[in-house]
Amino acid sequence: MDKHTHPDPVGGLGQFLRSRRERLSPAAAGLPGVGRRRVPGLRRDEVAALSGVSVSYYSRLEQGREIGPSPGVLEALARVLQLGDEDRAELFRLAPPAARRTKSPQRVERVRPHLRHLIEDWTRTPAFVIGHAQDLLATNALADALYRDFAQSDNVLRMLFLDPAAKSFYRSPERARHRAVADLQRTAATAPQDPRILELVGELSVRSGEFRTLWARQFSRVPPYEVKQVRHAVVGDLELRHEAFDIRSVPGQQLIILQAEPGSPSADGLALLGSLNARSGRADP
């Protein structure tokens, strides 16, 4: 068989990806301030970051050494490369047969009712449940009051990297961001083609240069939880012990508890915050 008239589908995929990234400018892809460069288009590492995959994985795709890209990865690449309907169809046609199966639906994460009721009964301790991609799935009233100044309140990473309130709320926002990224990397390593993680990493890579830089690093371990120092707009400085518990009945979910030392000024601050929140709730129609 003449390989020039019947190109290898993996090689064709690599050539296709390379041609499409080279024709897409950094500005069009949403990457600000990249400056002048010797060649037009996006670099491999930029496509990888925006797609939510590692640079080595994307490089293998272009080199024809990766034979199993999932539909989720192909969807992410189509989004990043801004492919039209014809190009998107061509991308899936060139993918190996194993990648052409129907795209699996994104899993819906729900908190078990008994766990939701449990944290709602804790009136002196902020508590919440996060999913595998650090989406906030359930919060109690005191946690809502603690993070009330955040406009982004659906995902821990979006709060840390995209919400201006993080700069004034966290005494050490850099440390919190490092830990959140390392935690997401650990999860992504076990599910490298998870649609929700691909979507989240793609969004954060476009909107936050700091996230892109941290995501490109390889954290050898997740930094340990420690005392979280925050500054609330109403009750002032708080020192809260951050504890995370894996929920064994729902793998991937974590229960997060923020505790103040009994009898400390931080405990008094939380009590005041809870009291103010209760009054506010009674005043609402």
Which residue ranges make up each domain of the chain? Answer: 9-100, 113-283
Q: Over the stretch 55-99, which tens digit does the pLDDT of each residue have?
A: 888 888 888 776 678 787 888 899 899 999 899 889 988 886 654
Nearest to 51 by CA among 187, 194, 184: 194
Give the number of other CB atoms < 10 A from CB of residue 89. Answer: 12
Mean local confidence (pLDDT), 209-236: 85
Of 173, 113, 169, give the one whose Cα is nearest residue 137: 113
Place of tokens 């990457």: 31
Q: Which of 157, 158, 201 is nearest to 180 (CA)?
A: 157
Looking at the DSSP bridge assignments, the partners of residue 241 are: 227, 259
Measuring CA to CA, which residue among 267, 271, 233, 259 is closest to residue 147?
233
pLDDT band at 213 (very low <50, low <70, confident <90, very high): confident
Residue 157 Rama label (left phi>0; alpha psi -120 to 50; beta): alpha
Q: According to the model, what pLDDT value does residue 282 have?
A: 46
**What's the pLDDT tens digit per position in 156-180?**
999 999 999 999 999 989 999 999 9
Between 226 and 142, where is the model more confident?
Answer: 142
In CATH terms, 9-100 corresponds, of 2.10.210.10, 3.40.50.2020, 1.10.260.40, 3.40.50.300, to 1.10.260.40
Residue 146 has pLDDT above 70, yes or no: yes
pLDDT of residue 6: 40
The SS3 call for residue 9 is: helix
CATH class belonging to 113-283: alpha beta
Give the per-residue pLDDT at 285. 38
Task: Read off the tokens for 206.
Answer: 């476009």
Q: What is the pLDDT of residues 12-24, one digit of tens each?
A: 889 999 999 999 9
Q: What is the mean pLDDT of residues 115-121?
A: 96
The pLDDT of residue 234: 94
Q: What does the pLDDT read at residue 128?
A: 98
Of 35 and 156, more confident: 156
**pLDDT (0 to 100) of residue 32:** 66
